[in-house]
């Protein structure tokens, strides 16, 4: 789906997506008409739990240990590692936190309290990437075909938990902390046949 290479010290990944046949629509909360959305995503029903969390004892054990009971979203997504590789993981969002789980070894890789999230960064194009910006830690760069639902759930959960309006920022070029001491920039460009994505070391 994606390949990464090293070019003059810059880690670069490219991902091509099918172009959207839809124009900007008014029905784009919480995106307020900014985001060019795929036609399918405008009419998709949100299910929340796409992996049946109750059928996975190790996921239940993780949630119980942390005291979280209400799962708002759960699905397998792609996480971009600090080295620029794409790795499949389970993303769970509760009313209190975000969980990143490695399904290969049934291990919790990361838990981030919703209160620690400053904003979510997206491009203005029809790609699948989103970055969760966490000032006190390193950030999360992920890709999912259910990006719209993920953003909507996080905005609503943050508002319900702390009356804090989570910022959703749109730009076809933004920086994120791939690790505590590693800043990268992701760039998006509309090309024939889809969206070209580049991840560069700063």
pTM above 0.75, yes or no: yes
Residue 150 within any structural domain of the chain: yes
Judge whether 5 and 12 are in contact, CB under 8 Å: yes
Judge whether 56 and 63 are in contact, CB under 8 Å: no
Domain count within the chain: 1
Residue 169 within any structural domain of the chain: yes
Residue 18 within any structural domain of the chain: no
Secondary structure string (H, E, C) spanning 43-87: CCCCCCECCCHHHCHHHHHHHHHHCCCCEEEEEEEEEECCCCCEE
Per-residue model confidence (pLDDT) at position 69: 83
Residue 186 within any structural domain of the chain: yes
Residue 149 within any structural domain of the chain: yes
Give the CATH number of the domain where residue 39 resides.
Answer: 2.30.29.30
- Domain limits at 183? 32-201
Strand runs labelled E in 41-193: 71-80, 86-94, 97-102, 107-113, 119-122, 129-133, 140-143, 167-170, 173-179, 182-191
Judge whether 40 and 61 are in contact, CB under 8 Å: no
Nearest residue to 98 (alpha-carbon basis) of 85, 83, 115: 115
Residue 128 within any structural domain of the chain: yes
Cis previous bond, 58, omega within 30:
no
Residue 135 within any structural domain of the chain: yes
Residue 3 within any structural domain of the chain: no
Q: Give the pLDDT of the chain (202 residues) as one tens digit per residue.
A: 444 433 333 333 333 333 333 332 333 344 444 445 454 444 456 689 999 999 999 999 999 999 988 999 999 999 999 999 999 999 999 999 999 999 999 999 999 999 999 999 999 999 999 999 999 999 999 999 999 999 999 999 999 888 788 999 999 999 999 998 999 999 999 999 899 999 999 8
């Amino acid at each position: 789906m994606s390949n990464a290479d090293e070019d003059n010290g810059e880690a670069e990944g490219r991902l091509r997506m099918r172009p959207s046949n839809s124009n900007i629509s008014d029905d784009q909360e919480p995106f307020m008409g900014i985001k060019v959305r795929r036609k399918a995503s405008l009419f998709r029903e949100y299910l929340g739990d796409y992996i049946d969390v109750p059928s996975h004892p190790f996921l239940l054990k993780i949630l119980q240990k942390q005291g979280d009971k209400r799962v708002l979203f759960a699905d397998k997504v792609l996480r971009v590692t600090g080295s620029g590789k794409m790795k499949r993981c389970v993303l769970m969002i509760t009313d209190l936190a975000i969980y990143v789980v490695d399904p290969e070894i049934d291990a919790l890789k990361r838990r981030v309290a919703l209160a620690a999230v400053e904003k979510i960064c997206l491009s203005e194009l029809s790609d699948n990437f989103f970055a969760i910006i966490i000032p006190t830690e390193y950030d999360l760069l992920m890709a999912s075909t259910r990006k719209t639902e993920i953003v909507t759930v996080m905005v609503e959960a943050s508002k319900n938990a702390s009356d804090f309006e989570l910022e959703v920022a749109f730009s076809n070029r933004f920086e994120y902390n791939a690790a505590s001491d590693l800043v990268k920039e992701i760039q998006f460009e509309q090309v024939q046949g889809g969206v070209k994505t580049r991840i560069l070391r700063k």
